[in-house]
Structure 1
């Protein structure tokens, strides 16, 4: 498998991606059975795909995230077209690119091996069907690098490199298993560490420093996606991740727009990096924006 170029070669990688083959979308009407065939949606990824949220009492729930929001919308559209619809969520809280590929999901799940093996088996079983696959992965490869209120730069760069190689393998194996009517869509990531802005001058410095690292991670994700001809839902853009201006009101003070987005659309007010209901819907909307016409009736 050819290695992914690093940041200095991002433009070349994007251009090279135009010559590579991938799992192209084929309209449902072009497939045998047309619009009456079952539409399938497979979500793979980490806790965001699993719909993980903490609760105010200190517990947590799963199954209330962007994949569920997206499935609800797609299910409604399929019903209007008189099409059956099936949704499967393999998302594993705590998953990294390494555990997704090699096994070791740290959360109880239905699959016994790796999430990637389960996804590949699913796609092979549905090779002739119309399947949408969404994927988010990479946050857990780097999030440990901000423990203790400071950023560990070597740790973060090593984590980004792990995402570069790990995501390449994951998308390659998914596309090998995918049939002609499968569509894979990835996503980039918001920056939860912007919330440190709310903790004082040291926190503001950490929040400011976190944005270039988030940008480096997202550039790698987008470049690997482009190599595999996988569109990337722009979650970072929707969360205004790089926008330290304008200042907007939040809790009786003026804060940068990107900080306000994180505080309003995630549970970072209680130290939980995961999106809340509003944030998950924003993510789902970014996936919807990348879907081909047969999903948009």
Structure 2
């Protein structure tokens, strides 16, 4: 029964949900965005983003994502509350305007867009939320990737510009403003880049992956601390020896999402970057 449900869910969500971590490359040091100092953990942890933030796995194990792993660590630093607003299928546009395709799967209930809900949560808990983690942007690029032929659409650059505009002009400024209390940043905003589940199948796409992660790093500058997930997943080494263990790509599901092991690796990247 469970396997049948998993196959059914995989069929209905594959066109959109299975891009929570499309492709992605290492970010050179010159593009890394960091804050001179981090605030540190507070009592509330807020997780935002797409299916990776949500913790999707095709075997219907939704309780061992990176946010759950990170929260387990944060509890040892005094965290007592955790809200996961991640929505499978979320794009930067739907995060702003609402309409996430698989909102029925939400772990934390809210009305309207994820961004508005996050801002409200921060405003209702002034000075008590840190960190806020975010992964977003991969789903925006889905229509540009043909994973059967490894071709990349000519609309890649314009879609990437939309990601930049949505992050740089709306999402990150609004989150940063909501995390500012009496003129001071009251919490840490951590934005991750993406690993590349297709680098063994489509190694020619790596330059595009590099470009996306470079853009995410540039978008984060001044607003968020960049968390490099690509490198601990194996970096640009092709074939990547970690793909089968850290993702579901080599399983019967042939799914790009992280396994429980992979999510632990992502959580560790957050912990190492934040220093707590």
Paired with 1:86 and 1:119, the residues of 2 have a C-alpha distance of 14
What does residue 287 of structure 1 align with? 270
- 8 Å CA contact 2:192, 2:227 repeated in 1: yes
Q: Please identify runs of 4+ aligned residues in structure 1 that moved more than 6 A.
A: none
What does residue 34 of structure 1 align with? none
What does residue 172 of structure 1 align with? 173
- 8 Å CA contact 1:46, 1:95 repeated in 2: yes
Paired with 1:84 and 1:278, the residues of 2 have a C-alpha distance of 23
Q: 1:243 to 1:129 in 2, by over 3 A?
A: same
Which of residues 244, 247, 271 is equivalent to 1:266? Answer: 247
**What's the offset of the Cα at 1:105?**
1.3
Greater mean alpha carbon deviation, residues 136-145 or residues 147-156 = 147-156
Q: 1:192 to 1:156 in 2, by over 3 A?
A: farther
What does residue 156 of structure 2 align with? 156
What does residue 48 of structure 1 align with? 52
Q: 1:27 to 1:47 in 2, by over 3 A?
A: closer
What does residue 238 of structure 1 align with? 232
**What's the offset of the Cα at 1:261?**
1.7
What does residue 227 of structure 1 align with? 222
What does residue 261 of structure 2 align with? 278
Q: 1:235 to 1:14 in 2, by over 3 A?
A: closer
**What's the offset of the Cα at 1:158?**
2.8
Instruction: Kindly indicate which of the two structures has a greater share of residues assigned to helix.
Output: 1
Paired with 1:290 and 1:234, the residues of 2 have a C-alpha distance of 8
Q: Give deviations 1:270-297, integer Å, cap 9, x for gaps.
A: 32110001111110011001215xxx3x
What does residue 65 of structure 1 align with? 65
Normalization by structure 1: what TM-score? 0.73
Q: CA RMSD in A?
A: 2.5
Normalization by structure 2: what TM-score? 0.78
What does residue 210 of structure 2 align with? 215
Larger radius of gyration: 1
Which of residues 170, 183, 201 is equivalent to 2:188? Answer: 183
2:94 corresponds to 1:96: no
Q: Give deviations 1:16-63, integer Å, cap 9, x for gaps.
A: x89xxx8974357xxxxxxxxx611000000000000002xxxx3423
Bigger relative contact order, structure 1 or 2 (CA pairs below 8 A, ≥6 apart): 2
